[in-house]
Amino acid sequence: MRMLLVALSFALAGTAAAQAPKDDPAPTTPEQAQQQRQLSQPGNNAPVWREVQRGDPNYTSIPGREMNVLIQPPARFLGQDVRVTAGEAWRQFRNGPMTFYGGWLVVVVLLILAALYFGKGPVKLHDRPSGRLIHRFSPGSRSRTGPPRSASWCSASRAW
């Protein structure tokens, strides 16, 4: 029985030693460091984005005025204390003062409309209705295949 326990303990020690991490030499290039990091921490691209944020020219396949610019240069909008990248500055501005004041602007406009409606009342006709109707579409264009409606139907059918 003892012999069986000793053999079992050696077998388990062998599998534990096989699972121990190997001592790899330190990576010599940034590319090797990135490859090694992807093995130990998959999805961790923080060093890559730190390098991109430095502003060095990089490769982009899109020609244009801002060629080789992966992240926009630092910027600052109204009411911001620090300079951050232009995209982050816009996000902070949109989520901060623009959302706050824009929301209040919508509320104020609705209050003005309600005040005008209740103050002056709905728009009234000068005379009583005459009973005449104005035809909006000709009989041909009232069908589904008429020119004015076919454009809207085509646009609506493409939207989904």
> Using one digit for the tens of pLDDT, what is the confidence trace for 64-116?
777 777 777 788 887 788 888 888 888 989 998 899 999 999 999 999 999 99
pLDDT at 114: 96
pLDDT(16) > 60: no
Tell me the C-alpha distance between 74 and 54, whole Å.
10
Give the rounded percent of residues in the chain with a pLDDT score beyond 90: 15
Classify 74 as helix, strand or coil: strand
Q: What is the pLDDT of residue 69?
A: 73
- Residue 91's SS3 state is helix
Residue 68: its pLDDT value, please?
A: 74
Q: Measure CA 39 to chain center.
A: 28
